[in-house]
Amino acid sequence: MSRLEILSPHCPVDILPISDSRSGSYHSWPGKSLHEFLSKSPTARPDVDPSFTDSRLPDDDIIFPNLPPLRNGHPDVHLRNGIMRASRLAMIHEPDAEAAFFVADLSQVYLQHQRWKRCLPDITPHYAIKCNPDPYILRLLAGLGAGFDCASAGEINQVLDIGGIDPSRISFANPCKAASFIRSAARSGVDQMTFDNADELHKIARMHPKAKLVVRILADDSKSICRFGIKFGAPLETVPGLLSKAKELNLDVIGVSFHVGSGCFDPTTYTDALRRARAVFDMGKNVGYHFSLLDVGGGFEDANFETAAAVIRDAIDVYFPDRRNIRMISEPGRFYVSNAFRLAANIIARRAAPVDAPTEFLVKEDQPTVMYYINDGVYGAFNCILFDHQTVNPYVLSLNGSFHVSASEPVAVSSVWGPTCDSMDCILKSVALPGALQTGDWLGFDNMGAYTICAASQFNGFEISNVIYTTGEVGAEVRQALAAFAAKGYGL
Ligand SMILES: *Cc1c(COP(=O)(O)O)cnc(C)c1O
């Protein structure tokens, strides 16, 4: 017998406005932080006026006329506002009314930068823009004085086009570059670039003989989610030969970089990498170089950042006790942006799971009974599941057309799928979600800022989800940093 019969009938999209935002039932499931936030800041209230159909809100701020407006308040408020707006647009039959959308909280980027400066004050971060080249993030970090790690001529131009960023703040940190990109970096005044092989040295000697070179060495990446070692990094035994070759070509090598791999869960890896970097500083001395740059790369995680920072500080003290003439930089990506973006996706369809679905990868209790189809998938924001080895955790934003979601809702084992016609487009094979979820309801996903939008495609005609921006918890500081940058004529 088909399991279709166990599903309750389809319910029209009908998002109930919130009557009392401070009531105890005002929670998304399984309970997010909005309630706490509202109790702490009594002025912050969601926009509950259902007649407000414009996309602009009364307290929207425009600092950069070509960018979307900046909003105030907790990101969860904007998730709900976005959902209410979608339901109003659906009522007037607006095409794509229920489109998935991100809420970006710029405070999170600001706070991560403060955290970096507090824990590693002597290491200047160069944000790896590939992680999320969002225009507000680039402007905010530019205004806060960060540098940038770029991997292509396109990324270099994207950073320089903002204005106010001296090319010396950019590191061209791709060890294997197209010759034309090296020439284009030279024209743009970007001198600092990495290499890990002899061919690269010949290209650079031809295209940018005045470049400031950084040798990217191989680090142990076995403790990271995304390993880079099979593609980049010179093994230590090859470094003396590379440095001699650089000398022979009259090139200026100024220092050492490494990358322990993205998503590094064992911070002691940095100790070993810094030990190797020390060895390479000494190799440089043997060839006649006096290195002045130490680049500790990326891989930093939100969860264990303080531990990683302490490990790095200790290892630098051990291996680089005299650093008077050494400039220290890093290339964090994920650390800055991962928790700054949330995604709201609409359940566009629902089916009973076929009874005879392939079972090889799941035990019986994990077999889903319901399949939900949402309007962003692995060809869009959830490409992080394929490329960045992420697992995502959905929570319920609306249930049966209402924001009132009780924590005791009975759950059903479910699977969650993206909107395309590819069966690979699966977001979760098996997850517990309330059985009462309907087509038209919304799921939320946190930590969607790193390696998501940047690699999203429009496969099958599905657009990349829009971003709503809020300045969030430390909004005054964020606005001040952005406004000061804009006041100098930059970023406009
Ligand atoms: C991707 C990348 C980074 C950023 O890595 P995260 O793990 O996001 O911090 C830094 N440097 C280089 C060379 C990279 O390729």
Render pLDDT for 257-306 as a digit per residue (tens, 0 to 9): 999 999 889 999 999 999 999 999 999 999 999 999 999 999 999 999 99
Q: What is the pLDDT of residue 354?
A: 87
92 within a domain of the structure (yes/no) = no
Same domain for 392 and 279: no
Distance 74 CA to ligand 1 centre (A): 29
Pocket probe for ligand 1: among 112, 155, 196, 262, the residue whose CB has the most ligand atoms within 8 Å is 262
Residues 119, 251, single domain; the answer is yes
Same domain, 158 and 253: yes
Model pLDDT, residue 55: 55
Split at pLDDT 50, 70, 90, the class of 19 is very low
pLDDT of residue 401: 87
Would residue 86 count as lying in a domain? no
How far, in Å, is the centroid of ligand 1 from the Cα of 331? 6
Any idea which of 4-8, 376-380, 417-421 has the lowest mean pLDDT? 4-8
Task: Give the amino acid at 170.
Answer: I
Could you give the percent of the chain with pLDDT greater than 70?
87
pLDDT surpassing 50 at residue 253: yes
Cβ neighbors of 54 (< 8 A, separation 6 or more) are none
> Do 381 and 451 fall within a single domain?
yes
Q: Which of 29-43, 92-106, 210-224, 358-372 has the lowest mean pLDDT?
A: 29-43
At residue 175, the pLDDT reads 98
Task: Determine the distance separating the centroid of ligand 1 and the alpha carbon of 330, expressed in angstroms.
Answer: 9
Name the nearest CA neighbour of 72 among 53, 58, 55: 58
Instruction: Flag whether pLDDT at 45 surpasses 80.
Output: no
Phi and psi at residue 115, to the nearest 5°: -65, -45
Residues 260 and 373 placed together within one structural domain of the fold? no
Crossing angle (nearest 10°) for helices 179-188 and 153-160: 20
pLDDT of residue 96: 93
3-state secondary structure 168-214: HHEEECCCCCCHHHHHHHHHHCCCEEEECCHHHHHHHHHHCCCCEEE
Q: What's the pTM? A: 0.89
Q: Is residue 421 annotated as a catalytic residue, yes or no?
A: yes
Query: Based on the structure, what is the number of domains in the chain?
Result: 2
Does residue 370 lie within any of the structural domains?
Answer: yes
CB 146 within 8 A of CB 127: yes
Q: Are residues 317 and 349 in the same domain?
A: no
What per-residue confidence (pLDDT) applies to 362? 67
Residues 327 and 371 in one domain: no
CATH of residue 149's domain is 3.20.20.10
Can you tell me the mean pLDDT for 125-131? 98
> What mean pLDDT is predicted for residues 196-209?
98
H helix runs in 57-101, sequence order: 75-91
Which residues make Cβ contacts (< 8 Å) with residue 255, sequence separation at least 6?
214, 215, 291, 292, 293, 294, 295, 326, 327
Domain presence at residue 488? no
Same domain, residue pair 350 and 371: yes
Query: pLDDT confidence of 363, banded at 50, 70, 90?
Result: confident
pLDDT at 350 over 50: yes
What average pLDDT does range 470-492 have in this prediction?
96
Please report whether residue 229 resides in a domain: yes
pLDDT at 360: 61
Residue finishing a domain among 273, 308, 336: 336
- Beta strand residue intervals within 363-471, DSSP E: 370-374, 394-398, 411-417, 426-434, 442-445, 466-470
Tell me the mean pLDDT in the region 412-418: 97
Residues spanned by the domain of 459: 341-470
Residue 311 lies in a domain: yes
- 464 and 330 part of one domain: no
Q: Please say if the pLDDT value at position 32 is more than 60.
A: no
295-323 pLDDT tens trace: 999 999 999 999 999 999 999 999 999 99
- Please indicate, yes or no, if residue 224 is contained in any of the structural domains: yes
CA atoms of 304 and 307, how far apart (whole Å): 5
pLDDT at 481: 97
Query: In 10 A of CB 95, how many CB atoms?
Result: 6
pLDDT given for residue 23 in this prediction = 35
Q: Is 49 inside any structural domain?
A: no
Mean pLDDT to the nearest integer, 40-45: 36
Look up the CATH number of the domain holding residue 399.
2.40.37.10
* Residue 56 pLDDT exceeds 80: no
Pairing of strands 341-352, 370-374: antiparallel
| 3-state SS class at 346 | strand
Check 11, 421, 426, 454 and give the catalytic one: 421
Q: Please give the pLDDT value at position 357.
A: 62
How big is the CA angle at 142 (ends 295 and 149), to the nearest 5 degrees? 30
Q: How many degrees, rounded to 5, is the angle at CA 448 between CA 48 and CA 298?
A: 140
Flag whether pLDDT at 3 surpasses 70: no
Shared domain check, 422 and 442: yes
pLDDT surpasses 70 at 26:
no
Residue from 131, 269, 301 to probe ligand 1 pocket by mutation (most atoms less than 8 Å from CB) = 131
According to the model, what pLDDT value does residue 333 have?
Answer: 98
Mean pLDDT value across residues 67-95: 95
pLDDT of 328 > 80? The answer is yes
Give the residues surrounding ligand 1 with Cβ less than 6 Å away.
Answer: 128, 130-131, 149, 173, 259, 262, 297-300, 331-335
Q: In ligand 1, which atom is closest to the CA atom of 257?
A: 13
